[in-house]
């Protein structure tokens, strides 16, 4: 899972620039085409069944 946020090198906070330096975040190579991003198919909302499956999986991994 990723969080997509608008970012340009000149606007980065100190924390964001530290994440870039640590390799945990990348600077943009080109401007983001929001229309293209919003066309990406997303998963279906599984409601309670999906949440329950995630909780059970988490319990098993503990």
4-46 pLDDT, tens digit per residue, is 777 766 777 889 889 889 999 888 888 778 888 888 887 777 6
Q: Is the pTM of this model over 0.85?
A: no
Q: Calculate Rg over the CA atoms of the chain.
A: 17
Residue with tokens 């085409």: 33
Q: Which pLDDT score, from 0 to 100, does residue 46 have?
A: 67
Could you tell me which residue, 12 or 57, shows the higher pLDDT? Answer: 57
Residue with the bigger pLDDT between 7 and 52: it is: 52
The continuous run of DSSP H or E covering 49 comes out as helix 47-61
Q: What is the structure's pLDDT at 62?
A: 73
């Amino acid at each position: 899972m990723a969080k997509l946020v608008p970012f340009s090198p000149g606007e980065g906070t100190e924390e964001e620039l530290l994440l870039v330096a640590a390799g945990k975040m990348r600077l943009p190579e080109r401007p983001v085409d929001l229309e293209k991003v919003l066309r990406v198919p997303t998963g279906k909302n599984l409601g309670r069944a999906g949440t329950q499956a995630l909780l059970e999986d988490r319990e098993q991994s503990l």
